[in-house]
C-alpha cells in the first residue's frame, strides 16, 4: 500500500492504473491468507462471489467479518477444505456453519475489535471492501459500512475495493484516498437492502413502555430486530431527540422526517446523527448520500463508552435471549449454541449508564417458543454466555413493565424480574427463588397481574417534580426508608400510636396489593437521583358497605406543599372510578392541617369520643350525582321541534 498523500494532483492516473478485473485482483491473494470482508449491507458481493470461483488459488484461507447479510458461499459445507470462516458476529447465513463446528466465532466488543487489527493480534493479509466512486479530490467513501471496515482497510497488507456507483458518499470519517487501496474492481449493482422484522403486539407493548423512559432531548441508540419498528411510532410525540448509535436503519430517517430527531440538544456532535453503519432500504441510502446531518465513524469511536457517555440523557435500547433472576443478561447464545454476538451492547450499556441522566435498557419479550418458555429464568441455561453482567445491567423492559435493577439487592432483583415475567411463570419463578434462597421464604406473589397505569401522574410542587404511581412489591425497601424518615409526631398522627418498627411481614402486606381491596399511591421525588417516597395515600376496602378507609401521610420536609392534596384527590378519583360508595377516615384533633385538607374536599366530620378523633366521611354516590347534574347543566340546550296542538 502506498503512503497516504492528502494532496495528489496525479491521483486520477494512479487510480486508472489500479483498476483491474476481479480475477486479476483476487489472484494476488496468497494461499492461507486471512481475508477480511466488508460488513452488513456494505458487503462487496461481486468480490465475494469471485472468491468461490477462484477458491483453488486462495486455498486454506480464513474469512473474517462482523455481521454479513449478503452471500456467504465460503460457509457452505462443500467449500470447507478451501475456507474457514471466523465470525465476530453471527448472522443467519453463517449460523449453521458455526454450530456444526465448520466455522469459528470470536466474541469481542465492537469498540475493541479495530485494535486487534491494528496491533496485529489478528493479522489481515487482505481486505475486500465496497466503496463509492472517487470524488474530485481522489477520496472514496466506505458509504454505509465504516464500522470496523476502515480499520481493516488501513491494516490489511493488500486491499481490494469494489467500486459501486450505487454506494452513497457518506460524510464523517468514512473516506479513504485512492493511494490507500491496492486494486479497484468497478462493478455497479444494487446494494443489499434490509427490512426490520414486523413488530407484533408484544413488541408494541414493550415499545410503549420504552417510550416512557425516553425524555425529550435524549440521545438514542437502538439495536437490530423488531424493537426499532415498534419503538419508532411510540417516539413520535417526543421532541429534539438525538442519535448516537452503532447502526441505524429507516427508523432514523422516519424520525428525522417527522421532526422528532433534530440533534439540537446533543452534548456532542450537535446537529448530527452519529453511526458506524447503516442497514435499510434504497430510500435510506438516498437519504444519507452527501447528507451533512449524517456523520459515519469507525466503531472504535462510535462504540467507545467514553464517547457515548458524553451525550447527556443517553438512552441505549438493546435486546436479549434470556435474563436470570440475579440480572445476568445472555444475548449471544441459546445455551451452548452461538446465535449472534456481543456486538455493541456492552459498549452502549456502559456508555449510557455513565451518561448524565442516561438509561441503559435491555428489552426482552417475557416468553419464547410461542409462549412455552420463560425468558426470565432462575439461572441461565447451561452454556449460555453472560454478555451484560449483573453488575452492569440497568433497566429491563418486558411487555409487563420495567424495572431499574441498579443498586438492587439480589432479593429485590428477583422480585422485580418475577414481576416482569409472564404471569403463568411467576409462581414457578418464586418457588425457584425461594429454593435458591434469593427471597424470603414467606415471600408472596404479587396479588395483581395487570399494573393499574391509570393511577400514574406527575406534578410540580415548589419547583420540584413529583411522580405519583401505585405501590409495587419492589418498593419494600423504599417504604421502609419512608417510614424511618418520619418524625415521631408524624408517625403518631398516622398510626395513633408510637409505632417503632416496620418489619418485613408488615412491609410485604403494604406493598403486595391487588388494588381492588386495598389501594396505595406513593408520591416519588422525581428530581432525586435515587428513588425516594415522600408521601403515601391509601384506602382499604370494607366489603360490608363498599367503602374505603382512607389515610394520607407525608414526610415532614414535604408537608405544606400540596402533595397531600394531590394524593387525596387521586384517591377520591380512584374510589369513584372503582365504584366505591364512600370514603371514611379518622384524624386526631391535633392534626389540624390534615383535618382542614379533608374538609376542603367535602368530607363530613363528627367527633368520635371512643376513638378520641374526628370521623370523616365522603359519600361518593352524592359526589357522582352532583357531577352528573353539573355536566347536564353545562351541556348545550337542545331545541325541541315545533309540535302543533292538532298533532
Catalytic residues: 246
* Cα 32 from chain centre: 42
Classify the C-alpha dihedral 598-619-566-557 as positive or negative: positive
Q: Closest by alpha carbon to 88, among 111, 99, 73, 104?
A: 104
Q: d(Cα 32, Cα 57) in Å, to the nearest integer?
A: 10
Q: Closest by alpha carbon to 244, among 173, 297, 206?
A: 297
Classify residue 339 by burial, with Cβ atoms within 10 Å: 0-12, 13-18, 19+. middle
Output the CA–CA distances (angstroms, integers) from residue 162 to 3, 49, 180, 182, 363, in the order listed: 21, 12, 14, 11, 38
Q: Closest by alpha carbon to 584, among 529, 539, 637?
A: 539
Q: d(Cα 279, Cα 281) in Å, to the nearest integer?
A: 7
Run of H or E residues at 595: helix 592-600
Classify residue 516 by burial, with Cβ atoms within 10 Å: 0-12, 13-18, 19+. exposed
In three-state form (DSSP H/G/I as H, E/B as E, the rest C), the secondary structure along 62-125 is EEEECCECCCCHHHCHHHCCCEEEEECCCCHHHHHHHHCCCEEECCCCCCCHHHHHHCCCCCCC
Output the CA–CA distances (angstroms, integers) from residue 331 to 302, 338, 406, in the order listed: 21, 10, 19
Q: d(Cα 172, Cα 144) in Å, to the nearest integer?
A: 11
Run of H or E residues at 174: none
Classify residue 56 by burial, with Cβ atoms within 10 Å: 0-12, 13-18, 19+. exposed
Cell of 12: 486520477
Residue 583 contacts residue 539 (beta carbons within 8 Å) = yes
DSSP per-residue codes, 27-51: HTSPTT-EEEE--BTT--HHHHHHH
Q: d(Cα 210, Cα 231) in Å, to the nearest integer?
A: 7
Residues 6+ apart with CB under 8 A from 488: 498
Q: Closest by alpha carbon to 553, among 571, 531, 541?
A: 571
Tell me if residue 227 falls in helix, strand or coil: helix
DSSP state of 453: G
* Cα 237 from chain centre: 17
Q: How many CB atoms lie within 10 A of CB 631?
A: 9
Q: Closest by alpha carbon to 603, among 529, 558, 521, 539?
A: 539
Q: d(Cα 218, Cα 311) in Å, to the nearest integer?
A: 8
Q: Closest by alpha carbon to 510, among 536, 543, 548, 534?
A: 536
User: At 131, phi and psi to the nearest 5?
Assistant: -135, 165
Output the CA–CA distances (angstroms, integers) from residue 504 to 420, 470, 473, in the order listed: 22, 19, 12
Tell me if residue 629 falls in helix, strand or coil: helix
Amino acid at each position: 500500500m502506498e503512503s497516504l498523500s492528502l494532496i495528489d494532483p496525479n491521483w486520477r492516473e494512479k487510480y486508472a492504473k489500479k483498476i483491474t478485473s476481479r480475477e486479476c485482483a483476487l489472484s494476488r491473494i496468497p494461499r492461507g491468507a486471512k481475508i477480511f470482508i466488508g460488513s452488513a449491507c456494505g458487503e462487496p458481493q461481486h468480490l465475494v462471489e469471485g472468491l468461490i470461483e477462484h477458491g483453488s488459488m486462495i486455498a486454506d484461507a480464513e474469512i473474517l467479518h462482523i455481521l454479513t447479510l449478503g452471500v456467504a458461499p465460503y460457509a457452505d459445507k462443500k467449500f470447507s477444505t478451501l475456507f474457514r470462516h471466523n465470525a465476530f458476529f453471527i448472522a443467519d447465513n453463517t449460523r449453521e456453519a458455526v454450530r456444526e463446528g465448520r466455522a469459528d466465532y470470536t466474541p469481542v466488543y465492537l469498540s475493541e475489535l479495530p485494535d486487534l487489527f491494528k496491533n496485529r493480534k489478528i493479522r489481515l493479509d487482505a481486505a475486500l471492501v465496497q466503496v463509492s466512486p472517487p470524488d474530485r479530490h481522489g477520496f472514496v467513501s466506505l458509504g454505509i459500512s465504516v464500522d470496523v471496515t476502515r480499520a481493516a482497510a488501513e491494516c490489511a497488507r493488500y486491499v481490494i475495493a469494489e467500486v459501486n456507483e450505487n454506494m452513497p458518499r457518506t460524510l464523517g470519517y468514512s473516506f479513504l484516498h485512492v493511494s490507500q487501496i491496492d486494486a479497484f474492481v468497478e462493478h455497479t449493482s444494487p446494494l443489499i437492502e434490509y427490512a426490520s422484522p414486523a413488530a407484533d403486539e408484544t413488541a408494541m407493548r414493550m415499545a410503549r413502555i420504552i417510550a416512557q423512559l425516553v425524555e425529550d432531548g435524549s440521545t438514542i441508540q437502538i439495536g437490530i430486530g423488531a424493537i426499532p419498528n415498534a419503538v419508532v411510532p411510540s417516539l413520535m410525540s417526543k421532541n429534539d431527540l438525538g442519535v448516537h448509535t452503532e447502526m441505524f436503519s429507516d427508523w432514523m430517517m422516519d424520525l428525522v422526517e417527522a421532526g422528532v430527531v433534530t440533534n439540537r440538544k446533543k452534548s456532542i456532535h450537535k446537529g448530527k446523527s452519529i453511526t458506524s453503519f447503516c442497514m435499510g432500504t434504497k430510500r435510506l441510502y438516498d437519504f444519507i448520500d452527501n447528507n451533512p446531518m449524517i456523520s459515519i465513524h469507525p466503531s472504535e469511536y462510535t462504540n467507545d463508552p467514553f464517547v457515548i457517555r458524553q451525550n447527556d440523557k443517553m438512552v441505549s435500547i438493546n435486546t436479549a435471549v434470556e435474563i436470570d433472576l440475579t440480572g445476568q443478561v445472555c444475548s449471544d447464545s441459546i445455551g451452548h449454541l452461538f446465535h449472534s454476538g456481543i456486538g455493541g451492547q456492552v459498549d452502549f450499556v456502559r456508555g449510557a449508564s455513565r451518561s448524565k441522566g442516561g438509561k441503559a435498557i435491555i428489552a426482552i419479550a417475557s416468553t419464547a417458543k410461542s409462549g412455552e418458555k420463560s425468558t426470565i429464568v432462575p439461572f441461565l441455561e447451561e452454556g449460555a454466555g453472560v454478555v451484560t453482567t449483573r453488575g452492569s445491567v440497568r433497566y429491563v423492559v418486558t411487555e409487563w413493565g420495567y424495572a431499574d435493577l441498579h443498586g438492587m439487592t439480589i432479593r429485590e432483583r428477583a422480585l422485580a424480574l418475577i414481576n416482569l415475567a409472564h404471569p403463568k411463570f411467576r409462581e414457578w419463578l418464586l418457588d425457584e427463588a425461594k429454593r435458591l434462597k434469593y427471597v424470603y421464604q414467606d415471600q408472596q406473589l404479587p396479588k395483581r397481574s395487570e399494573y393499574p397505569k391509570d393511577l400514574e401522574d406527575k406534578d410540580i410542587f415548589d419547583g420540584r417534580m413529583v411522580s405519583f404511581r401505585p405501590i409495587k412489591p419492589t418498593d419494600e425497601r423504599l417504604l421502609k426508608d419512608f417510614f424511618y424518615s418520619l418524625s415521631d409526631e408524624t408517625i403518631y398522627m398516622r398510626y395513633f400510636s408510637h409505632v417503632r418498627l416496620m418489619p418485613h411481614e408488615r412491609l410485604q402486606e403494604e406493598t403486595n396489593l391487588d388494588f381492588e381491596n386495598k389501594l396505595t399511591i406513593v408520591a416519588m421525588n422525581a428530581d432525586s437521583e435515587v428513588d425516594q417516597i415522600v408521601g403515601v395515600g391509601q384506602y382499604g376496602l370494607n366489603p360490608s358497605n363498599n367503602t374505603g378507609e382512607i389515610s394520607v401521610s407525608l414526610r415532614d420536609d414535604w408537608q405544606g406543599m400540596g402533595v397531600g392534596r394531590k394524593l387525596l384527590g387521586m384517591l377520591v378519583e380512584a374510589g369513584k372510578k372503582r365504584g366505591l360508595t364512600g370514603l371514611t377516615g379518622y384524624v386526631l384533633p391535633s392534626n389540624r392541617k390534615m383535618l382542614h385538607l379533608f374538609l376542603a374536599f367535602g368530607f363530613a366530620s363528627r367527633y368520635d369520643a371512643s376513638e378520641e378523633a374526628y370521623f370523616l366521611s365522603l359519600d361518593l354516590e352524592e359526589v357522582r350525582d352532583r357531577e352528573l347534574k353539573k355536566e347536564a347543566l353545562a351541556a348545550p340546550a337542545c331545541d325541541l321541534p315545533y309540535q302543533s296542538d292538532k298533532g
